[in-house]
């Protein structure tokens, strides 16, 4: 998403105080890719040592051609 949307700030370190611990990432099925409308870092406050990742989904944009019946 960072490259697709030219939002390179999304590639920033997720560590507190600028520590380079890891980058954030999410994994979704092919049907949800088109439904992702936003991405953000989530500050855990005093509960953690790294930021979380949150996404916004517009479920009306789900790629229905990617859906299949669960068996």
The tokens for 55 are 């996404």
CA distance 33 to 42: 20
Q: Kindly list the domain boundaries of the chain, sorted by start residue.
A: 8-65
| Burial class (CB within 10 angstroms; exposed 0-12, middle 13-18, buried 19+) of 59 | exposed
Is 0.85 surpassed by the pTM of this model?
A: no
In sequence order, the β-bridge partners of residue 47 are none
Alpha helices, DSSP H, located in 1-71: 30-33
CA distance 22 to 8: 15
10-67 per-position pLDDT tens digit: 777 777 665 666 667 788 889 998 899 988 888 888 877 777 888 999 999 998 898 8
């Amino acid at each position: 998403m960072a490259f697709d949307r030219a939002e390179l700030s999304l590639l920033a370190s997720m560590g507190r105080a600028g520590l380079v611990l890891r980058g954030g990432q999410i994994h979704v099925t092919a049907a949800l890719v088109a439904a992702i409308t936003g991405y953000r870092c989530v500050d855990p406050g005093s509960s953690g040592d790294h930021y979380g990742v949150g996404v916004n989904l517009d479920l009306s944009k789900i790629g229905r051609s990617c859906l299949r019946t669960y068996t």
